[in-house]
Amino acid sequence: MKKKSGKKAETPKSRERRMTLTPEEFILFKELRETGVIPDEYLIRSDISFTKLKDRSTETKRRYESLLQEIQEKDETIEHLLALKEGGTGKKPDLSKMKKSKGTVGNATAVMVASDWHIEEQVDPSTVNGKNEYNLSIAEERAANFFRKGVFLTDLVRNGIRIDNLILAFLGDLISGYIHEELQEDNYLSPTEASLFVQDIICSGIDYLIKEGNFKQIVIPCCIGNHGRTTQKKRIATAYKNSYEWMMYKTLEKIYRNNEKVHFIVENGYHTYVNLYGKYNLRFHHGDAMRYGGGVGGITIPVNKAIAQWNKTEEAYLDVFGHFHQQMMDAGPYVCNGSLIGWNAFAVAIKAGYDDPKQSFFVIDQEKGKICDWPIFVK
C-alpha cells in the first residue's frame, strides 16, 4: 500500500485561489509578460515582498531617528529644569566667542519734551500733605535738570546708535498766568515777569545743549498752552495773538536767528508738525483741545478719538502733548508728557493720582521708528 501523503491534493479551485494576485502583483506580472519573461509565481511574490519590506524598513528607520531626536530634546529639557531647581544651569556662556559691537550703527534723532512748567506758580507743601513744593528757585533747578539729564540720556543711547540731531519741543503752559483769581493771589511773578524769567531759563538751556549736547541741528517746535494768555476766556482762531508764550517763542527765534544749529518752528495754529526722515510725521500740541471729564478709561478714549479725527486731515506717526499733569504715558500712537511743577492743590481737587515731576525723552530711529521712551526725572 502506498502511504498517503500528508499534502492535500490540489484542486482547480485551490490552484485558482493560489494563483490570484494582488493589484500590485498583477501589474508587475503584466509588465514581465510583455517582455517575454514570466518568472515563477513564487519568485514574483518574493520580489514584491522584498520591495515592501525595504519600504517599511526605510519608514521604520525614519521614525526611529525622529523618536531618538525627540527623546534627546526631552532629556535636555529635563536636565535643564533639574539644574534650575538646584540653583543654576551649570553652564556658563562663553562670552569670549561672542562678537564685539562695532560701535554705533544706524541713525536716530533724540526728542526732549518740555511742558507744564508753570514757572511762577507756588505749591505750598501744607496744601499737598508735604508731597511737593514749588517756588522760583525749585523751578529753575528742575528746568536745569531737564536740560542736563536730556544730554545724559542722549549720550546713553549714543553707545549703540548715532544721534546728530535733537528735537526740543516746548508744548505750552510754561507760565501759569492770571486765568484764575487764586493765581493772581499766589503767583510769585506777573505774566510778563514770568515770561522773561522762563525765557532766560530756556536761553541758558539751549546754550547748554549747543555746548554739551554735540548736536549738529536743534529743531525747536513751539506750541502755546491754555494758561499763558492775556484774555480771561480762551480764544480759538486768535489764541496766538493773545498768548504770552507765542510772543516769547518769537523773541527766542530772533535771539538765535544767526545760529545755524538752532531752528525754531512757531506756528499760529494749534498743531505743529515735524517730519523726520520723510516717513515719521510728529504732531506736537499742548493737549487742551482733547476733552477729558474723568472716567475709567482715563484720557485714552478722548485722546484716541481726537487723533483719529485729526489723522483724516493729516496722518501723524506720533502725537506728542502735555496739559493733563498726569503720569507720563507712552501709549504707542501718542506720548503724554508729565509736568515740571508736579502735584499741587488743583491735582488733589480733581482727584489726580500723585506723580513725580518729570518730562519726556524718546528717540526716533531712521529705520525702526520710536525705539525708546524714558522719563526725565527733574526732582
Q: Which three cell numbers stand for residue 119?
A: 514757572
pLDDT in tens, 200-222: 999 999 999 999 999 999 999 99
Residue, of 75 and 178, whose pLDDT is higher: 178
- Residue type at 115 in one-letter notation: S
- Long-range CB pairs of 333-339, under 8 A, 24+ apart, other chains included: 333/304, 333/307, 334/303, 334/307, 335/113, 335/360, 335/362, 335/373, 336/287, 336/299, 336/303, 337/113, 337/114, 337/115, 337/116, 337/171, 338/116, 338/375, 339/115, 339/116, 339/117, 339/118
Residue, of 160 and 43, whose pLDDT is higher: 160
CB 322 within 8 A of CB 310: no
Beta-carbon contacts of residue 27 (< 8 Å; ≥ 6 apart): none
CB 108 within 8 A of CB 364: yes
Q: Which three cell numbers stand for residue 242?
A: 493773545
Would you call 46 helix, strand, or coil by DSSP?
Answer: helix
d(CA 254, CA 295) in angstroms, rounded, equals 44
Residue, of 281 and 26, whose pLDDT is higher: 281
- Looking at residue 190, its pLDDT comes to 96
d(CA 30, CA 16) in angstroms, rounded, equals 17
Residue, of 100 and 331, whose pLDDT is higher: 331
pLDDT in tens, 44-59: 566 666 666 666 677 7
The mean per-residue pLDDT over the stretch 272-281 comes to 96
Q: Is the pLDDT of residue 70 over 90?
A: no
Residue, of 117 and 51, whose pLDDT is higher: 117
pLDDT in tens, 8-21: 555 655 555 555 66
The mean per-residue pLDDT over the stretch 183-188 comes to 90
pLDDT in tens, 297-330: 677 888 889 999 999 999 999 999 998 777 667 7
How far separated are the first and last CA of the chain, in Å rounded?
124
Would you call 337 helix, strand, or coil by DSSP?
Answer: coil
- Looking at residue 292, its pLDDT comes to 72
Could you tell me the maximum CA-CA distance found in the chain, to the nearest angstrom? Answer: 143
In 3D space, the residue among 291, 319, 295 whose CA is nearest the CA of residue 307 turns out to be 319
Q: Is the pLDDT of residue 358 over 90?
A: yes
pTM passes above 0.75: no
- Looking at residue 295, its pLDDT comes to 58
- Looking at residue 62, its pLDDT comes to 79
CB 220 within 8 A of CB 263: yes
Domain 108-377 part of CATH 3.60.21: yes
According to DSSP, the residues that pair with 222 across neighbouring strands are: 170, 266
